[in-house]
Amino acid sequence: MAVSLGFHIVFAALAVGLPALLLFAEYRANRTGDPVWMALCRRWARALGILVAVGAVSGTVLSFALGLFWPGLMGRWGAVIGLPFALEAFAFFIEAIFLGIYLFGWDRLSPWAHWAAGWPVAIGGVASAWFVVTANAWMQTPTGFATVSDGRVVDVQPITAMLNPSTPVMTTHMIVAAYMATGFTVGAVYAIGMLKGRRDVYHRRGLAVGLVLGLALAPVQIVVGDAAGRLVADRQQVKLAAMEGLWRTTAHAPLTIGGIPLPSQGRTILGIRIPGGLSWLAYGNTGAVVHGLDEVAPADRPNVVVVHLAFQIMVAMGFALAGLGLWALIVWIRRRHLPDTKWFLRAAAVAGPATFVALEMGWVVTELGRQPWIVYGQTRTADAVTSRPGIAIWLVATVAIYVLLGAACAWLLLRLARTPRETGALEAAG
């Protein structure tokens, strides 16, 4: 399941973010008649078709995996979380139908009708992500049900479950991350092209559109991430302690930057500690008490080493991307254009994969941080997972499928990148 989620999230994020760039580029092309904007739009549309096709396969694998591998989750809680999965399917159908219209309607629809066909693709992608993340948010803060003495779930309220306390922050965090990852990835593609000497209008615009989207959202994501941290402090104190490597309940708790947890010794070494920093970030008071890992038995703790390091990587990536945005803003204020030095282009090229590293690390924190619970405080992961033999075979088969899919996707995208651009006016414009 972890392999499937880690693979699928890359394509899901791009399917959420790329339609927005398509709509912007096609709007500019229709308004101005500029062939550069239209060339960008057509190239991104073909890439989106490839990404959605691969993402549909990995998403289908995940759908089967829920029923096959998690009988204790779906058997007990299916009535509570079934609604967002059903609505996600409808959102994906709308996205896929209009993506087909969009891809095959270039010469069959008027320019503005074709542009309008892209809106359901963009909305459907965001809606799909929102519905799926509400189900995961419910697993963090389960609501919308009651239980009786024998453990049966009764009085199910699917809408209440879907709109649980974690939904606003987690859905916003994920959707912003998807747009950021898309923007930085697109910017990275054109930064690499410019490093190879292709400094025409086509590459400059591609770089600018991608980076503006990613860089504008980087500080927004820091604010949303802070809200997510406060929610964790309120609802999942053990996860917060694991994220921060805090072993003992402490007033005036320090914020640890970096560091390596040593579970056998119950301490975190080599970190930079800011006195009272964690208390202030979690509760707005430098003297507040922050609950530590010592309040729960070792069997009720997540893997502190993995959760802490993943959290540190995610935060470091987020602030590095915000720093890249500050660099670009200073140059823009001074010169009225994005920086185009080799060092900036190198940083922009690295930012693309870096955002996906941050995205993956964020989900590692989210999922491993709530262990040993699959539904926090209600059902343990060990009680939800299948006991059938032969799971290792499924793992090997899943990895093999994803290796083949990833290779095919990379080959198709590289082939698309080498395809000559569709207008001869580009060289003249450059």
Residue in the structure block whose two tokens are 């204790």: 72
Backbone angles phi, psi at 145, to 5 degrees: -165, 170
Instruction: Give the span between the Cα atoms of 181 and 183, in whole angstroms.
Output: 6
pTM score:
0.91
Residues 6+ apart with CB under 8 A from 75: none
pLDDT of 429: 39
> What is the rounded distance in angstroms from the CA atom of residue 72 to the CA atom of residue 81?
13
Given a cut of 90, whether residue 133 has pLDDT beyond it is yes
The predicted model gives 223-246 an average pLDDT of 92
Q: What is the pLDDT of residue 366?
A: 92
pLDDT digit string, tens, across residues 148-203: 767 788 888 999 999 999 999 999 999 999 999 999 999 999 999 889 888 889 88
Radius of gyration over alpha carbons of the chain, in Å?
A: 23
DSSP 147-181: E-TTS-EES--HHHHHT-TTHHHHHHHHHHHHHHH
pLDDT at 420: 65
Q: Is the pLDDT of residue 110 over 70?
A: yes
Q: How far apart are CA 255 and CA 274, in angstroms?
A: 5
Closest CA to 277 of 266, 269, 288: 288
Looking at residue 127, what is its pLDDT? 94
Q: For residue range 85-107, what is the model confidence (pLDDT) as tens digits?
A: 999 989 999 999 999 999 999 88
CB-facing half-sphere around the CA of 220: CA atoms within 13 A: 15
For 346-396, the pLDDT digits (tens) are 999 999 999 999 999 999 999 999 999 999 988 999 998 888 888 888 888
What are the residues facing 290 on neighbouring strands?
A: 250
Residue pair 386/70 in contact (Cβ under 8 Å)? The answer is yes
Amino acid identity, residue 56? A
Taking residues 221-240, report their average pLDDT.
91
User: 300-316 burial by CB neighbour count: b if 16+ within 10 A, else e?
Assistant: ebbbbebbbbbbbbbbb
Residue 422 confidence (pLDDT)? 53
Confidence of residue 30 (pLDDT cuts 50, 70, 90): very high
Residue 152: its pLDDT value, please?
83
Question: Which of these, 412, 415, 401, lies nearest to 65 by C-alpha position?
Answer: 401
Flag whether pLDDT at 427 surpasses 50.
Answer: no
